[in-house]
């Protein structure tokens, strides 16, 4: 069986080199500029966006719970007196970042503390 001239000798080498270079260029362009992602990166991005949506939805509820507490004005003064790096723990301990059926959410507590500490 005779192979076509394109698949013999020097031409076969050039054909394989072209295929390899084409594949490498496609991969580089796809991942670099085409927006292709590995599954792990996509999952990480999806989790990050879900966390952001959760915080955006629950932080205002946390602020509302804080403001409707019996001694909210005194507690707000205590929150503002607390170091900024420890305010989220203050919110968690107060129970304002705890929602039914869950444990305190640190990200919600951070966002809640930030909003409350900016209030006058």
| pLDDT (tens digit per residue) in 30-49 | 888 888 888 898 999 999 99
**120 has pLDDT over 70:** no
Long-range contacts of 54-58 (CB under 8 A, 24+ apart): 54/105, 54/107, 54/108, 55/105, 55/107, 55/108, 55/111, 58/97, 58/99, 58/105, 58/108
Please state the rounded mean pLDDT for residues 3-25. 84
pLDDT of residue 22: 94
Cα angle, residue 59 at apex, residues 54 and 61 outer, rounded to 5°: 110
pTM over 0.75: no
pLDDT band for 21, please (50, 70, 90 cuts): very high
Please state the rounded mean pLDDT for residues 74-95. 92
């Amino acid at each position: 069986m005779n192979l076509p001239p394109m698949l013999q000798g020097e031409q076969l080498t050039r054909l394989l080199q072209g295929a390899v270079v084409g594949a490498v260029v496609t991969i580089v362009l796809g991942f670099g500029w085409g927006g292709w992602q590995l599954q792990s990166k996509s999952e990480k991005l999806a989790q990050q966006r879900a966390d952001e949506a959760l915080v955006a939805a629950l932080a205002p509820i946390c602020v509302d719970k804080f403001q409707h507490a019996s001694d909210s004005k005194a507690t707000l003064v205590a929150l503002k007196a607390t170091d900024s790096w420890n305010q989220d723990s203050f919110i968690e301990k107060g129970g304002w970042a705890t929602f039914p059926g869950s444990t305190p959410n640190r990200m919600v507590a951070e966002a809640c503390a930030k909003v409350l500490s900016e209030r006058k």
